[in-house]
Amino acid sequence: MATHGRITEIAHLVADARSIVALTGAGMSTAAGIPDFRGPQGLYVTRQYNPEKTFELRWFKRNPKHFYCFAADFVETLSRIRPTFAHTFLARLEAAGELSAVITQNIDMLHQVAGNHNVIELHGSPSTATCLSCGKSIGPLDVTWWQQAIAASPHSPVVLCQGCGGVLKPDIVFYGEQVHRYAEAEAAIKECDLLLVLGTSLTVYPAALLPDATGAPVVAISQGEVALAPAKHHYVVDADLDAFCREMEELLSF
């Protein structure tokens, strides 16, 4: 946990800021109970699902069953988990008029569940889907919709377009696709007067480049190393996100 002096200094930065942007990563989700795909129990280590066949666009187009077998478990997890204290802390910052945007690499929609409204999802989310055959876009969709749609085809858990019968692809970013709304995220960071980097090591590109877009103070909170270049206005704290946000809220009056 941060020393008292350091957390007080950061609390002053938050209190004085008028346009905060938060950039969030997998650490926000793991605290809620979603395994980090690259972590010790993640998809890429356990090989419970073949990561290439699950998340590569060419494999999805060839055989979407690989992804949908994973999706059945993923949406079941999403139906059980709840936002963490860190999620609700960001929602309260937005409600207080201090947080202008959340930029997230996560696809779990927990920021919206917690109460944030201006959420830029770099890797998309299952809140919308597109038919690969007719191009129709559907949404907004929630976890319950996906559970029911997947359960409706238990012997072939692939969700199909009700219009043409083509395969529905949730609008998450697969390998082989560009991230979503990057220019919008970069613009938000250029305009902020404080950037909070929460739960990300800044090793996944292009999101890792976003802190370079601002000369404002950058506060990175994560457990483990963060690839943030040393600078006078950069603060890196190795801490549990929920514990840090609880201490922060105690020092702030909102």
What residues are labeled active site?
123
Scanning the chain, the segments in alpha helix (DSSP H) are: 4-16, 26-30, 43-46, 51-55, 57-62, 65-80, 85-95, 110-114, 143-151, 182-191, 241-251
DSSP bridge pairs for 215 = none
- Angle of helix 143-151 relative to helix 65-80, nearest 10 degrees, comes to 130
Nearest alpha-carbon partner for 124 in 141, 102, 139, 107? 107
CA 126, 186, 200 angle in degrees (round to 5)? 60
Q: 126, 134 in Cβ contact below 8 A? A: no
